[in-house]
C-alpha cells in the first residue's frame, strides 16, 4: 500500500511539472511587453542604417529576452533548441544568430547590407512567430 501511494504521489508530481512547463510555453505577451518590444525593434531598425552590426546584436538580444519571458532557460542557442517548434523558419533564425556570433567574436567583421537585411528579417519573423506585434 505504501509503495502504491508513493507511485501515485510521484505521478502527480510529474503531471504538475509537465503542466507548469506547457503553460509557461503558451504565455502571451502583455500589452506592456508588446510596447517595450515594439520600441526596441524600432530602435534596431534605426540602428541598421548607421551601425548594422549593433542592430544585429540587439535583435539577437531581443529574441533571447522574448524566449526568456516565454519560460526558456539557458544560452540563446539552448533556448532555440528547446523552442524550435515555435518558429516557421528556424534555419534562417539560426543563420542570423550565427551572424551575430561572427560579429561578436571576429575582429573587424562587418556584416554586408544583404546579410544585415536577411538577419533582421529573420529576427523580426521569429519575434512575430512568438506572438509579438511589431
CATH code, domain carrying 65? 1.20.120
Looking at the domain assignment, is residue 56 inside a domain? yes
Looking at the domain assignment, is residue 102 inside a domain? yes
| Cβ atoms within 10 Å, residue 108 | 4
Looking at the domain assignment, is residue 69 inside a domain? yes
Quick one: average pLDDT of 39-60? 98
Residues whose CB is less than 8 angstroms from the CB of residue 82 and which lie 6 or more positions away in sequence, other chains included: 72, 74
pTM of the model as a whole: 0.80
Q: Alpha-carbon torsion 116, 117, 122, 126, what sign?
A: positive
Task: Note the pLDDT tens digit of each residue in 72-118.
Answer: 999 999 999 999 999 999 999 999 999 999 999 999 999 999 999 99
Q: Write down the mean pLDDT value for the chain.
A: 91
Give the domain range for residue 121: 30-129
Amino acid at each position: 500500500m505504501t509503495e502504491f501511494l508513493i507511485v501515485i504521489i510521484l505521478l502527480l508530481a510529474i503531471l504538475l511539472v509537465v503542466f507548469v512547463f506547457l503553460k509557461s510555453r503558451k504565455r502571451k505577451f502583455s500589452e506592456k511587453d508588446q510596447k517595450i518590444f515594439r520600441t526596441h525593434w524600432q530602435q534596431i531598425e534605426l540602428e541598421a542604417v548607421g551601425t548594422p552590426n549593433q542592430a544585429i546584436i540587439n535583435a539577437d538580444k531581443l529574441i533571447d529576452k522574448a524566449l526568456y519571458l516565454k519560460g526558456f532557460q539557458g544560452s540563446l542557442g539552448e533556448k532555440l533548441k528547446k523552442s524550435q517548434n515555435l518558429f516557421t523558419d528556424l534555419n534562417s533564425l539560426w543563420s542570423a544568430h550565427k551572424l551575430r556570433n561572427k560579429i561578436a567574436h571576429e575582429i573587424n567583421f562587418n556584416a554586408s547590407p544583404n546579410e544585415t537585411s536577411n538577419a533582421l528579417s529573420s529576427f523580426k519573423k521569429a519575434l512575430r512567430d512568438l506572438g509579438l506585434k511589431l
